[in-house]
Amino acid sequence: MNMKKTFAAFLDRDGVINLDFGHVGNPEEIIYVKGAFKAVRMLNNLNFYVFIVSNQAGIGKGKYTYEDYLECIEKIKKDFANEGAVFNDIRYCPYHEEATQEKYRVKDHPFRKPNPGMLLDLEKTWNIDMKNSFLIGDKQSDLLAARAAGINGYLFDENDYLETFVKKVPEVSLQVKKMKKDLF
């Protein structure tokens, strides 16, 4: 069994992978940010595990259903796979203290960012080396979750080009350098 730790890129979904129209729960509302496919493919090629960590309180609040969420995430996975880009795992958090559905009404759920629960769960599941990992989000709550999980978080603007942004992430530059060193 290979116990070697791998490193990861934790990506928020709405506002990082696809545009955030507020409670995106319909596959027709999935419009990707520029450079999204290339960014994830690059991370795959650099041996980063790529994870989506997404608050989805819209489920708990009844803005859309769990099935709607699944449809969206399946579309995202399929569209990226068609472009040769892979998400290794996905975590989402439907819980919110003001959820209309009782089963989702939880105050300060450990998975809900700014809490780091989704990141820590993925760290444990995949034996992730957090020292060489990072997060990209579009909100302060994303960055706070990263900090609480002990990794760097970088603030992205959905109007920017994701591949260019990812290239500038220090943890990514480091892997690019290491890979070049291994080649020569």
Three-class SS state of 23: coil
Q: How far is the CB of 151 from Mg ion (least distance, A)?
A: 17
Catalytically annotated residue among 14, 20, 138, 142:
14
Of residues 14 and 123, the one with the C-beta less far from Mg ion: 14
14 versus 171: smaller Cβ distance to Mg ion: 14
| Rounded CA separation 73/42 (Å) | 20
The reply to whether 12 belongs to the active site is yes
Task: Tell me the residue nearest to Mg ion as measured from the CB.
Answer: 15
Residue of 9, 89, 16, 79 lying closest to 44 (CA atoms): 9
* Amino acid sitting at position 1: M
SS3 call for 137: strand
Q: Report the residue number, 16 or 46, with the smaller CB distance to Mg ion.
A: 16
Rounded least distance, CB 157 to Mg ion, Å: 11
In the complex, what is the shortest distance from the CB of residue 118 to Mg ion, in angstroms, rounded to a whole number? 13
CA distance 39 to 25: 23
Return residues touching Mg ion (CB under 5 A).
Answer: 12, 14-15, 138
Catalytic site includes residue 14 = yes
> Which residue, among 48, 29, 16, has the nearest Cα to 141 in the 3D structure?
16
Residues with a catalytic annotation lie at 12, 14
